[in-house]
Structure 1
Amino acid sequence: MRKLLLQAVLLAFLGLGLIFQPLSAAKSTILYKDQVAVIIYHHIDDDAKSGGTITAQLLKDQLTYLKSKGYQFITLKQFKAYMEGAPVPNNAVLVTFDDGYESFYVNAYPLLKQMRVPAVNFVITGDLDNPLASYIPSMSRDDIMEMTSDTNFTEFQCHSHHFHYKLPGGGAALVSRLVKDGVKETEEQYKQRVVSDTKACVGALSELYTEPVDSYAYPFGIYDKPAMEHIRQGGIKYAFTVVPEMATREVDRMQIPRIDAGNSGVSPERLHQAILRRVVTPMPPTSEVPLAETVGAIGGKVTQSHDGTVQIGFGAHNWSGAAGSTKLTAPDGRTLALHKPLTWKNNKIFITLKDLEQAVGGQIVYNPNVQSFALRQTIDTKP
């Protein structure tokens, strides 16, 4: 009898080992480090049909699959600490929702709570006064207070107070200048309107829970330099876009990218692959890269001659140079000083990454999974 019990215990132990082994292996898998995949959802509903709606089952399948692959879900608080220099777990994911729909409270939150997946919902606070009046019902103040008191990993931040609409001409309220009685608002009036709306949103959420309200998701993902500056003056430190890239410390705090997960066509496997396609590997600014291949990968063109001269074309940027030269020259005579001369190696011109970024006017990143370069899709905030 004792022998049978020992055998049963041994089999049970081995069985548990078989169960936990893949989970441990998945957790130890390093898909990427020192960066965060911020994913975005909107409406979670089993009956509604729209491009931004998925079922609760698909949400569960996506999150379960990501966990099985070794992704680690973090809180908004952890994300903000990472952006300011703190470490972040490998394969970090921040889950976000836009619009403050009631479906988050009814369909998403119970699942997130059960799976212990942190999330942040960007709320249109003007809808809190009459949550059932909106086209898609919104959460109430009581809903938000219940969730924040029930867990310490569900947060609520700003999606504007009254700016989630477009003007008759199609422009987003956040970036457009209003016209009343044929008179267009002045820049000062526009500034005050945006600052006031932002402060109203921050104030409304600050009354509901104790965490700092300092984050914002741009309505419709539309923003520009003035809008960024005005919401900053309204109390915002971190703003989220819909640009599908990985979030690293190098990105503008007011232009944090997010990867779409809330489309019915995004299967768990497809979401996993979408994240991997956007992983970036930091490269020292002094690293030399092949000029023609790198510019071609980001959408430009390089014409190279056998004598080592090159013509670079990228959007409105056009430059010419030569091997051994420490400058590039524009058609109008302007010159760009290089930190290191253009180098001729194996019949190719090489340029440092820092110099190429100056030439094309943007940050270039490398994705090891697809072995290619890409240009960050952020707007230039320099004066």
Structure 2
Amino acid sequence: MRKVYINGLLLVGLVILIIVIYTKWISVETEAFAQGFQAEERKFIILQERQPIYMKDTAFLKIGEIEANQPFAIIGEDEAYYELRLGKMTVFVRKGQAIVEKKKVMTAVHTEQHAAIKTQQKTIVYDAANLQSATLMYLEEGYRYPVVQEEKDWYIVNIGERLGYVSKRSVALDEGLPVLVYHHILPKSLMKTTASTISLEAFEQQMDYLADNKFKTLMANQFYDYLEGRLVVPTNALLITFDDGLLSTKEYAYPILKQHGFTAIQHIISSRVNRAQEGQVFDAEGPLQFFTNSDLIELADVFQFEAHTYDLHSLNEGIGIALERSEEEIIMDLQHNRQQVPDAISLAYPYGHYNEEFMRAAKEVGLLIAFTTVEGYANMNASNYEVCRFGMTEKKSFEQFTTYVNGNMIWQ
């Protein structure tokens, strides 16, 4: 009888222990979910040795290394690569010696980008907010990486459903990308005004500087992915834009850009395309001339053609006429504009004038970015429909140009 009693007590104790453990597990899981995690069954890899991770842009580009003996959830695979998430991006690890398992793990729920950081050397990402904790991965030198959170002395990245910690002392906060905007280009001897005009000599000096310092120009889709936290870009990346589709940029900018292997965006006022006959001859001393359809085809190896409205590029008493139009009228104009530039994903507001109706119209027709004339850097803090640029005219000094493209301009 006593033995039965003792066995009963042991059974009761075991049940209580199971309840306590289960309750504690539920509590931990609930707390983890509240802190941005949820339990999921995932396929994950543990590498037997450190391996590079690659981003797929125009080619596979190494952007870091993930450490051995750390579990990383994978989202897919093909014959050659495992696919993981880095923030919102898909990154790739070559298949090799790795353990592949399925199990229930706590995965991060919140993966929205918070900001971006710039690496100035190869940078460690830690397993916890502690310099003595294990290493999860390494970030390459000279890139801008999206981060999902900020916590005291740490920036937090999401890699393979793991939160990784980057010491603020090891990186710089990304101020944003430089975006240059040009309009009219003429040799200095032919210039009659500096309004929206830069000399050929100044433009050539600026492009030589970018080439000598190995700057990388982005296309519109790459720029959009950067703003959305879906693309790691070099610290020396920038965007070159032109507004209006002026023939002077074919005459003077195009050959210089092509020589250096640069690309640029041309925002087109489509009602002004084909004002002249095909094969028009450039006249530096005459009225402004605009691209023809044949120019759009001929120059497509350097210029990406984007939207600048069909017929809203005019002023009424100093105010852009688009601000007098209804949202429906702006939508109709932009739809007409996009017939000329069907692949456009960006818009430049005429004269930089815009309002809520203009922004909503741009979204409605499927444009993903809109550029203003407000001077500053383009970053994740602002709306994609209020992107800052830096206006390049003859009034800007070469020192101002270099300060801006190097990320050192301070905005009051």
TM-score range, shorter chain: 0.5 to 0.7
User: Of the two, which has the highest radius of gyration?
Assistant: 2
Kindly provide the amino acid, as one letter, of the partner of residue 203 in structure 1.
Answer: Q
Instruction: Give the corresponding residue for 1:225.
Output: 356
Instruction: Give the corresponding residue for 1:248.
Output: 379
**Bigger share in helix:** 1
Instruction: Give the corresponding residue for 1:237.
Output: 368
Given the alignment of the two structures, is residue 191 of structure 1 paired with residue 338 of structure 2, yes or no?
no
Shift, 1:104, TM fit: 1.2
Secondary structure (helix, strand or coil) at the match of 1:77 reads helix
User: Structure 1: how far apart are the matches of 2:324 and 2:408?
Assistant: 32
Instruction: Choose which of 221, 229, 232 in structure 2 pairs with 1:77.
Output: 221
CA-atom RMSD in angstroms: 2.5
Instruction: Give the corresponding residue for 2:181.
Output: 40
Instruction: Choose which of 316, 330, 337 in structure 2 pairs with 1:201.
Output: 337
User: Structure 2: how far apart are the matches of 1:131 and 1:243?
Assistant: 32
User: Structure 2: how far apart are the matches of 1:214 and 1:140?
Assistant: 21
Instruction: Give the corresponding residue for 2:75.
Output: none
Instruction: Give the corresponding residue for 1:299.
Output: none
Instruction: Give the corresponding residue for 1:129.
Output: 274
User: Structure 2: how far apart are the matches of 1:73 and 1:214?
Assistant: 17
Secondary structure (helix, strand or coil) at the match of 1:138 reads coil
- Native 8 Å contact 1:29 1:70 kept in 2: no
Instruction: Choose which of 232, 250, 256 in structure 2 pairs with 1:87.
Output: 232
Instruction: Give the corresponding residue for 1:57.
Output: 201
Shift, 1:66, TM fit: 3.1
Shift, 1:171, TM fit: 2.4
- Native 8 Å contact 2:238 2:405 kept in 1: no
Kindly provide the amino acid, as one letter, of the partner of residue 261 in structure 2.
Answer: R
User: Structure 1: how far apart are the matches of 2:174 and 2:211?
Assistant: 16
Deviations 1:285-322 (A, max 9, x none): xxxxxxxxxxxxxxxxxxxxxxxxxxxxxxxxxxxxxx
User: Structure 2: how far apart are the matches of 1:121 and 1:110?
Assistant: 15
- Native 8 Å contact 1:65 1:269 kept in 2: no
Secondary structure (helix, strand or coil) at the match of 2:299 reads helix
Instruction: Give the corresponding residue for 1:161.
Output: 310
TM-score (norm 1): 0.56
Deviations 1:124-159 (A, max 9, x none): 0000131479941101110011111xx2x4201011
TM-score (norm 2): 0.52
Pairing of 1:297-312 with structure 2 (within 5 A): none
- Native 8 Å contact 2:352 2:372 kept in 1: yes
Instruction: Give the corresponding residue for 1:290.
Output: none
**Bigger share in strand:** 2
- Native 8 Å contact 1:34 1:90 kept in 2: no
More displaced 10-residue stretch of structure 1: 223-232 or 37-46: 223-232
User: Structure 1: how far apart are the matches of 2:313 and 2:233?
Assistant: 32
Shift, 1:242, TM fit: 0.9
User: Structure 2: how far apart are the matches of 1:102 and 1:117?
Assistant: 18
Instruction: Give the corresponding residue for 1:274.
Output: 404
Instruction: Give the corresponding residue for 2:322.
Output: 174
User: Structure 1: how far apart are the matches of 2:379 and 2:276?
Assistant: 35
Shift, 1:107, TM fit: 1.1
Moved runs in structure 1, 4+ residues, more than 6 A? 28-32
Secondary structure (helix, strand or coil) at the match of 1:264 reads coil
Instruction: Give the corresponding residue for 1:316.
Output: none
Instruction: Choose which of 231, 242, 248 in structure 2 pairs with 1:97.
Output: 242
Given the alignment of the two structures, is residue 117 of structure 1 paired with residue 262 of structure 2, yes or no?
yes
Secondary structure (helix, strand or coil) at the match of 2:273 reads helix
User: Structure 1: how far apart are the matches of 2:405 and 2:374?
Assistant: 13
Deviations 1:58-101 (A, max 9, x none): 11101212333453322223212212221111122100000110
User: Structure 1: how far apart are the matches of 2:332 and 2:249?
Assistant: 27
Shift, 1:275, TM fit: 4.2
The 1:69/1:113 distance shift into structure 2, 3 A limit, reads closer
User: Structure 1: how far apart are the matches of 2:222 and 2:276?
Assistant: 30
User: Structure 2: how far apart are the matches of 1:156 and 1:33?
Assistant: 28
- Native 8 Å contact 2:323 2:355 kept in 1: yes
Given the alignment of the two structures, is residue 142 of structure 1 paired with residue 306 of structure 2, yes or no?
no
- Native 8 Å contact 2:368 2:384 kept in 1: yes
Secondary structure (helix, strand or coil) at the match of 2:233 reads coil
Percent identity between matched residues is 25
